[in-house]
Structure 1
């Protein structure tokens, strides 16, 4: 099942960004270092693509260090783009942001030309935590759930440095199926938009191939790479006491355990995608979406052809009664 989540306030955010971007010098996009490709919003790229961009791979302490470096190299190879990995709760690390912005827009600075920066990202990537670390104050609400920030706000970091915060923004249609599952596993998607058991199974499918040792160590299992996803989930439930009557496994409870273990980093430092994997998923998603659009266009064209006026059968057509006395 494809995962989609686009609440009404996100449409307002899209419009606000489209209006604000005209006056912005640098865009900071905050990404989740555990899923840097899936948490990079293509809609934001469309809205802000002509502006210099600073990619922040937040939550680096939770991500696989080797894969984080791969993603940094990937983004730093792009024109007018810089990428940094950090932990938003580390004030020392966040002080690297302002110099990076000035490097991307060297002509801005001073009271005559203040730096104007838009900070954006998908929900629950730690954007508000990062802002609070930058200002050493609680300017932005934080929470371990999607959609905490609802309104744009301007924050003055210095007399010549303005930061515009925007609510978390997903995109109207997620065409990469794996991205939907990764976003759900990370907490970027509202709880009502996905089935936890399905997300947990997709997560386990990836982990048992790429991080089997972490699964085995955390849940005291053996040979997970050779097991089916459902078997692993059932084994987790059995180990953690998620049981129903007569020894049956509570798969819903087991799924919640797997997702929370991933979000809480108790499984270990994990990254759910490499640049090469995401490029392949994206190409496959774009191909499937193109096929979907072609089928939709074909159905629309067929509908127009069948909706023709009835043929003249030679019978006289009754005259329409005149709406006014004396004729039309």
Structure 2
């Protein structure tokens, strides 16, 4: 599959970020803990520059906890604090607020040294579509300050939100990048819902997700769909057919309903019903051509 999805409003979002970054003191980069490589916009480093940054690994409750520790250690080695967070429950929000204070302490100290009353800290949250920004903002503010939804692109425009008396937040819509050269990233974004399902061939996405599960979490998918198969001896399509047989997903002509199978596997993955899964590890960065910054 060749996956790309870059609606016109995302170009405007990039310009919006560039225009308003000069007003921001600290940038919060929100990633999907299941796909920390694919959910990281490669343009962010250039946009953010040397501003203080905090990385949030969202949906950590759905990811493989062993690999999560590896990602936290990876960012620590780069001098960046990575915080596991659940934007739905708010778990990790207190740690985020504490770290923002740490990152902006030099600025506050400077204002005090100049005899100025410290103003509210200005933060910006950046991330790809459907990564959980709006839910996180609502938890930070304590009310529904941002629109939320399970489809990418729900947040349409910019807004300043008062988080607390001493913190203001600049919210922006999710932003992808114009061309997804790494098609493994494209698939991962499709698996997690960062790319609108309506632009995809769902049968193909489901097929590739089954293949990825066969490779990375074979026991998990076997248990979920009661598959008694040796994955080293079968092709992906045979596993898809076996899942269809287990669920009795056939059409009126008794042919496999691949659309239903794909939706089942994708929805099970997104909801965590396949277990705690992480599709990317720090070890993959070099092999996939991602440079450390």
TM over 0.5: yes
- The aligned counterpart of 1:291 is none
In structure 2, relative to structure 1, the CA distance for the partners of 1:140 and 1:283 (3 Å cut) is closer
Q: For 1:33 and 1:207, how far apart are their aligned partners in 2?
A: 17
Q: Given the alignment of the two structures, is residue 159 of structure 1 paired with residue 165 of structure 2, yes or no?
A: yes
Summarize the Cα distance change of 1:174–1:93 in structure 2 as closer, same or farther, 3 Å threshold: same
| Structure 2 counterpart of 1:323 | none
Q: Aligned ranges for residues 47-58 of structure 1 at < 5 Å?
A: 47-58=47-58
Q: Return the offset for 1:222.
A: 1.8
Alignment partner of 1:121 out of 113, 124, 127: 127
8 A contact 2:83–2:92 mirrored in 1: no
Superposed counterparts of 1:62-101, under 5 Å: 62-79=62-79, 81-101=80-100
The total of aligned residue pairs comes to 283
Residue matched to 1:18: 18
Q: Post-superposition shift, 1:247?
A: 2.8
The Cα shift of 1:232 comes to: 1.1
Partner of 2:107: 108
Q: 2:262 aligns with which of 244, 255, 259?
A: 255
Q: Aligned partners of 2:77 and 2:231: how far apart in 1?
A: 34
Q: Distance in 1 between matches of 2:271 and 2:190?
A: 14
Task: Encode CA deviations 1:210-244: one digit per residue, 9 max, x unaligned.
Answer: 11111011001022522211111111112112102
CA distance in 1, matches of 2:152, 2:68: 23
Contact map agreement 1:132 1:140 (CA 8 A) in 2:
yes
Gaps of 5+ in 2: none
Secondary structure at 2:168 match in 1: strand
Q: 1:178 aligns with which of 179, 184, 188?
A: 184
Pairing 1:187–2:186 present: no
What per-residue deviation string (whole Å, max 9, x for no partner) do you get for residues 80-130 of structure 1?
A: x21101211233521111111122221234853431110010011111111
Distance 1:283 1:86 in 2: 24
TM-score, length-normalised on structure 1? 0.82
Cα distance in 2 for residues equivalent to 1:86 and 1:279: 26
Q: Would you say the 8 A contact 1:88–1:129 is kept in 2? A: yes
Q: Where do residues 278-297 of structure 1 align in structure 2 (5 Å cutoff)?
A: 278-283=285-290
Tell me the residue number matched to 2:30. 30
Residue range with higher mean Cα deviation, 241-250 or 31-40: 241-250
Is the Cα–Cα contact under 8 Å of residues 85 and 91 in structure 2 kept in the other structure? no
Structure with the greater alpha carbon radius of gyration: 1
- 2:192 touches 2:270 (CA, 8 Å); kept in 1? yes
> For the residues of structure 2 that align with 1:198 and 1:84, how far apart are their CA atoms?
33
Which ranges of structure 1 fall in alignment gaps of 5 or more residues? 285-328
Is 1:236 aligned to residue 243 of structure 2?
yes
Q: TM-score, normalised by structure 2?
A: 0.92
Structure possessing the higher relative contact order (Cα contacts under 8 Å, 6 or more residues apart): 2
Q: Distance in 2 between matches of 1:172 and 1:16?
A: 16
State which drifts further: 189-198 or 48-57.
189-198
